[in-house]
Amino acid sequence: MEQEFWHQRWAENQIGFHRDTVHPMLIRHWPSLAPQSDETVLVPLCGKSIDLNWLAEKHQHVIGVELSEIAVRAFFSENLYTPQVYRAPSGHTHYCFDELELINGDFFTARLSPMPLIYDRAALVAMPPAMRAQYVSHIRTLLAPGGRLLLITLFYPQADDTPPFSIDASVVEEAFQGLDFRLLETHTEPDGERGEQAWLIKAAAS
């Protein structure tokens, strides 16, 4: 989507995608990545998710990237954190507090090194089909050798072209072809037509 779309959603507080609790699939399946506390975690398009707090309790460095300054400031305000703030040469603004680092700006132009761990709950599903390949390509470059990605997707009968976008299994399988991927869980709502899936995706070791 155009950046202005997301700026407007946050400005108008149209954030139905935000959860007030830690995502249960994160809690259940993060151990499947065999994560180590000294491994950095990247969370693209993180919003003000409290999943960041949960990850920061288990890792020494958690990096979130978020386009909306409103979302970043809200995260620190609502958690009563006072971050150190600096502006990087890339033009992105970094907010740092203990284990947490939130980078405010365009995910595609943020200067990031390949990461051993990535958590995607709201990024792939936010990408319209026209941007999906670009996002997946970028994520693949950011997954370090031997790196692991926990990906959570949604599926439902989509009637419009606004996010979150329905992602079926074939989309994930095609996007991450060549990597080791495994479906960890499918949770289907009582109507049988909508639900969520959790995927473990691994890059080959160097």
- Residues of each annotated binding site for S-adenosyl-L-methionine: 10, 45, 66, 121
Question: Residue 172 has which token pair?
Answer: 């994930």
Q: Which residue has 């761990």 as its token pair?
A: 117
**Which residues carry a binding-site annotation?**
10, 45, 66, 121
Peptide bond into 164 cis (omega under 30): yes
With contact defined as beta carbons under 8 Å apart, do 105 and 92 qualify?
Answer: yes
Q: Where are the alpha helices (DSSP H) in 80-142?
A: 129-142
DSSP 125: G
Q: Where are the beta strands (DSSP E) in the chain?
A: 41-44, 62-66, 84-87, 93-97, 100-104, 115-120, 143-155, 180-188, 195-202
